[in-house]
């Protein structure tokens, strides 16, 4: 597509200004202005050209307004536009974070009530809305756990146990919080091996960090046994709740023996995920841990006035102010419009959708950890196709030719040639079938005409990119004629 930079014809304009009704100014002093603004290369385009340029650009990229996004461990669901409007409401969006409490009662009430709702959803009694992402929520949770151990004279506890299927942020945040990561093995079913956990939990255990359902999309069926082992050793249990999409209204971390968990509002609770933010990773915890939450927290005083409460602040703030209010508002609107029943239905739909796709694809791809129904996601292996010279990356690229985004690939690490698929609750059967049909068709191509897959994509505006170069040497302007397109 030709860029607007290609039609810089003089005389074209997209604006019409009213006649000047004030004295004409002398203009920009000589010496400060360029000789001829035409030389700057500013585009001169009509309104129609500008609109078409941007609409065309928007359709060259893949996005959730165009089709499903089956990225596993991401929950890329479609989010109602209504919530975007609410987040932009003047009275909320323009509040200065240093306003005195009594001038921002609406915002504080929303934060307070949202905190209560998140506690109800997770089965906990304390919450902070500050963390700006899941990873920061994990970091907050580990600091919370360390503060708790310290308060009991057990500051030597510095080991965080986690399974080998853990999301990469788990070891990263634990290490950043000055802890030592201790791996726990998964068994042949893809679940944490209780015997190995028992061997590794001990006097130095600060926490056991677990994603449940785990990154294979499997619910840790013996969860109460696991959390009891850790409590028995004096450690605490942290749930990585980034993927609450499987559990809403069905099961609560607080009831499974966990002491603290974070949520990803930008996955489960109506903020689009991806593109770099803003996100929000609130942390909820048990009454025992609540005194160690970062402050301020919103409290309601005896006169019914909401206050930003500061008392002890064990490890300082995690964010300059109180959290990403726009994201909190979207979550609040989502929870209230769905209601308790609606949230449960959303999780049930997420589970049914994932199981439907798993069933449709099971004949065509390997599934090394298939022990019956999955949760909100499942992980296939492309090993059968790899044996024919078609790698999982090729399958991901070929999906683009079918007008679909790829699933998460090569994660979790314990599955070779992994394809991690999460359809989410918001896709209907037509879109699920479109995805399944494409995957099945690609599996056939891998058997019969593998070059169709290994040469993909062929229908996209740019072909196969050098991904390492795209990361290290990112170029966001249109490639010049004869450029290499990376």
Ligand X SMILES: *Cc1c(COP(=O)(O)O)cnc(C)c1O
CB under 6 A: which stretch of 83-91, 95-103, 239-247, 446-454 binds ligand X?
Answer: 239-247
Q: Which is nearer to ligand X, 115 or 134 (CB)?
A: 134
State the minimum distance, in angstroms, from the CB of residue 184 to ligand X: 16
State the minimum distance, in angstroms, from the CB of residue 283 to ligand X: 12
How far apart CA 236 and CA 226 sit, in angstroms, is 11
Q: Which of 147, 165, 205, 264 binds ligand X (CB under 6 A)?
A: 264
DSSP string, 98-152: TS-GGG-HHHHHHHHHHHHHHHHHHT-SEEE---SSHHHHHHHHHHHHHHHHHHT
How far apart CA 354 and CA 347 sit, in angstroms, is 11
Residue 424 contacts ligand X per CB under 6 A = no
Q: Which is nearer to ligand X, 211 or 347 (CB)?
A: 211
Residue 135 contacts ligand X per CB under 6 A = yes
Q: Residue 192: which of 180, 184, 200 has the closest Cα?
A: 184
How far apart CA 175 and CA 159 sit, in angstroms, is 10
Residue 218 contacts ligand X per CB under 6 A = no
How far apart CA 259 and CA 418 sit, in angstroms, is 31
Q: Which is nearer to ligand X, 77 or 167 (CB)?
A: 167
Distances in Å between the Cα of 272 and the Cα atoms of 124, 128, 158 are: 26, 21, 35
Distances in Å between the Cα of 11 and the Cα atoms of 39, 42, 44, 164, 477 are: 15, 12, 7, 63, 25
Binding residues for ligand X, total number by CB under 6 A: 13
DSSP string, 169-180: HHHHHHHHTT-E
Residue 243 contacts ligand X per CB under 6 A = yes
Build a one-symbol-per-residue string for 69-108: x at contacts with ligand X by CB under 6 A, - elsewhere: ----x-----------------------------------
CB under 6 A: which stretch of 120-128, 131-139, 291-299, 393-401 binds ligand X?
Answer: 131-139
Q: Residue 80: which of 269, 239, 255 has the closest Cα?
A: 269
Residue 392 contacts ligand X per CB under 6 A = no
Task: Give the distance, in angstroms, between the CA of residue 99 and the centroid of all CA atoms in the same chain.
Answer: 30
Q: Which of 79, 122, 174, 211 binds ligand X (CB under 6 A)?
A: 211
DSSP string, 219-284: --TTHHHHHHHHHHTT-EEEEEETTGGGTTTT--GGGTT-SEEEE-HHHHSS----TT------EE
State the minimum distance, in angstroms, from the CB of residue 137 to ligand X: 8
Residue 173 contacts ligand X per CB under 6 A = no
Residue 186 contacts ligand X per CB under 6 A = no
Distances in Å between the Cα of 349 and the Cα atoms of 110, 120, 209, 265 are: 28, 21, 27, 18
CB under 6 A: which stretch of 133-141, 223-231, 323-331, 459-467 binds ligand X?
Answer: 133-141
Residue 122 contacts ligand X per CB under 6 A = no
Strands 205-211 and 236-241, by their bridges, are parallel
Sign of the dihedral through C-alpha 214, 419, 334, 270: positive
Distances in Å between the Cα of 374 and the Cα atoms of 285, 369, 428 are: 27, 10, 18
Q: Which of 220, 240, 417, 425 binds ligand X (CB under 6 A)?
A: 240
Whether omega for the bond prior to residue 457 falls within 30 degrees of 0, making it cis, is: yes
Q: Which of 115, 126, 134, 296 binds ligand X (CB under 6 A)?
A: 134
Tokens 């802890």 belong to 179
Residue nearest ligand X (C-beta atom): 134
Build a one-symbol-per-residue string for 10-49: x at contacts with ligand X by CB under 6 A, - elsewhere: ----------------------------------------
CB under 6 A: which stretch of 43-51, 130-138, 192-200, 365-373 binds ligand X?
Answer: 130-138
Q: Which is nearer to ligand X, 286 or 408 (CB)?
A: 408
Question: How open is the CA angle 112-78-278, to the nearest 5 degrees?
Answer: 50
Residue 268 contacts ligand X per CB under 6 A = no
Q: Which is nearer to ligand X, 45 or 406 (CB)?
A: 406
How far apart CA 158 and CA 203 sit, in angstroms, is 10
Q: Which is nearer to ligand X, 29 or 275 (CB)?
A: 275
Assess contact for 253 and 289: CB atoms under 8 A: no
Q: Which of 163, 249, 254, 281 binds ligand X (CB under 6 A)?
A: 281
Assess contact for 281 and 263: CB atoms under 8 A: yes
Residue 253 contacts ligand X per CB under 6 A = no
Q: Which of 254, 279, 294, 412 binds ligand X (CB under 6 A)?
A: 279
User: What residues have CB less than 8 Å from 128, skipping those under 6 apart?
Assistant: 140, 282, 283, 293, 294, 297, 318
State the minimum distance, in angstroms, from the CB of residue 132 to ligand X: 8
CB under 6 A: which stretch of 113-121, 149-157, 236-244, 410-418 binds ligand X?
Answer: 236-244
Residues in 340-359 that interact with ligand X by CB under 6 A: none
Q: Which of 133, 261, 343, 442 binds ligand X (CB under 6 A)?
A: 133
Q: Which of 107, 128, 130, 169 binds ligand X (CB under 6 A)?
A: 169
What is the binding site for ligand X (CB under 6 A)?
73, 133-135, 167, 169, 211, 240, 242-243, 264, 279, 281
């Amino acid at each position: 597509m030709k860029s607007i930079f290609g039609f810089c014809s003089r005389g074209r304009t997209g604006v019409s200004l009213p006649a000047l009704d004030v004295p004409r100014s002398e203009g920009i002093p000589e010496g400060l202005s360029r000789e001829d603004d035409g030389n700057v290369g500013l585009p001169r385009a009509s309104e129609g050209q500008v609109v078409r340029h941007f609409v065309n650009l928007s359709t060259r990229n893949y996005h959730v307004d165009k089709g499903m996004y089956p990225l596993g461990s991401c929950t890329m669901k479609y989010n109602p536009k209504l919530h975007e409007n609410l987040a932009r409401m003047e009275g909320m969006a323009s509040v200065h974070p240093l306003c005195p409490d009594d001038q921002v009662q609406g915002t504080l009430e929303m934060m307070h009530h949202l905190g209560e709702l998140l506690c109800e959803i997770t089965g906990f009694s304390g919450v902070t809305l500050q963390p700006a992402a899941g990873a920061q929520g994990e970091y907050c949770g580990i600091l919370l756990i360390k503060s708790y151990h310290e308060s009991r004279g057990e500051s030597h506890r510095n080991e965080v146990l986690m399974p080998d299927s853990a999301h990469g942020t788990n070891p990263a945040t634990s290490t950043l919080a000055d802890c030592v990561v201790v791996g726990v093995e998964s068994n042949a079913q893809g679940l944490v091996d209780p015997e190995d956990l028992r061997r590794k939990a001990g006097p130095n255990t600060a926490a056991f960090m677990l994603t449940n359902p785990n990154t294979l999309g499997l619910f840790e069926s013996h969860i109460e046994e696991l959390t009891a082992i850790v409590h028995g050793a004096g450690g605490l249990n942290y749930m990585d709740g980034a993927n609450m999409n499987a559990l809403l209204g069905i099961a609560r971390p607080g009831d499974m023996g966990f002491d603290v968990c974070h949520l990803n509002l930008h996955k489960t609770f109506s903020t689009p995920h991806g593109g770099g933010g803003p996100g929000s990773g609130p942390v909820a915890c048990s009454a025992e841990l609540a005194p160690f939450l970062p402050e301020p927290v919103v409290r309601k005083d005896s006169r019914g006035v909401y206050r930003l409460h500061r008392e002890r602040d064990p490890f300082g703030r995690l964010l300059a102010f109180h959290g990403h209010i726009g994201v909190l508002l979207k979550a609040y609107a989502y929870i209230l419009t769905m209601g308790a029943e609606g949230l449960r239905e959303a999780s049930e739909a997420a589970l049914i959708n994932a199981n439907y796709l798993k069933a449709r694809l099971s004949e065509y791809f390997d599934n090394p950890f298939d022990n019956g129904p999955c949760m909100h996601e499942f992980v296939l292996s492309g090993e059968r196709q790899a044996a024919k010279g078609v790698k999982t990356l090729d399958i991901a690229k070929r999906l683009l030719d079918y007008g679909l985004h790829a699933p998460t690939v090569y994660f979790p690490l314990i599955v070779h040639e992994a394809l991690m698929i999460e359809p989410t609750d918001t896709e209907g059967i037509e879109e699920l079938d479109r995805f399944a049909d494409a995957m099945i068709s690609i599996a056939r191509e891998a058997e019969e005409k593998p070059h169709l897959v290994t040469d993909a994509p062929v229908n996209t505006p740019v072909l196969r990119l050098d991904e390492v170069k795209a990361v290290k040497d990112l170029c966001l302007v249109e490639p010049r004629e004869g450029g290499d397109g990376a």
